[in-house]
Copies of this chain bind each other. A is one copy, B any other.
Amino acid sequence: MANQNVPQATAERLPLYYRTLQGLVAVGKTRISSSEFGDLVQIDSTTIRKDFSYFGALGRKGYGYDTQHLMDFLRKTLYQDELSKVVLIGVGHLGTALLNHNFQKNNNTKIVKAYDIDPSLTGTVVSGTKIYAMDTLATDDNSDITAAILTVPAAHAQEAAEMALASGIHGFLNFSPTTLSLPANAYVRHVDMTVELQALIYFLNHSMEERNSK
Interface residues of A (CB under 8 A from B): 2-4, 6, 11-12, 14-16, 18-20, 40-42, 77-80, 84, 86, 93-94, 96-98, 100-101, 103, 107, 109, 146-147, 170-173, 177, 179, 181, 187, 189, 191-207, 209-210, 213
Contact = CB atoms under 8 A, between A and B. Distances in A.
A204 B187 contact: yes
B11 A199 contact: yes
A196 B191 contact: yes
29 contacts: A2-B209, A2-B210, A6-B206, A11-B206, A12-B195, A14-B198, A15-B199, A15-B202, A78-B202, A79-B205, A80-B198, A86-B197, A93-B100, A93-B101, A94-B97, A97-B97, A107-B197, A107-B198, A109-B198, A109-B201, A147-B197, A172-B200, A173-B196, A173-B197, A187-B203, A187-B204, A187-B207, A189-B196, A191-B196
A206 to B, nearest CB: 7
Contacts of A6: 206
A2 B206 contact: yes
Given A2-B206, A2-B209, A209-B2, A187 B200 contact: yes
Contacts of A191: 191, 193, 196
A6 B210 CA distance: 12
Nearest to A207: B187
Contacts of A179: 20, 40-42
Give the oligomeric copy count.
Answer: 2
Given A12-B199, A173-B193, 14 more contacts: A2-B210, A4-B206, A15-B194, A15-B198, A15-B199, A15-B202, A19-B177, A78-B202, A93-B100, A103-B194, A103-B197, A109-B198, A170-B204, A189-B199
Contact of A107 (B79, B170, B194): B194
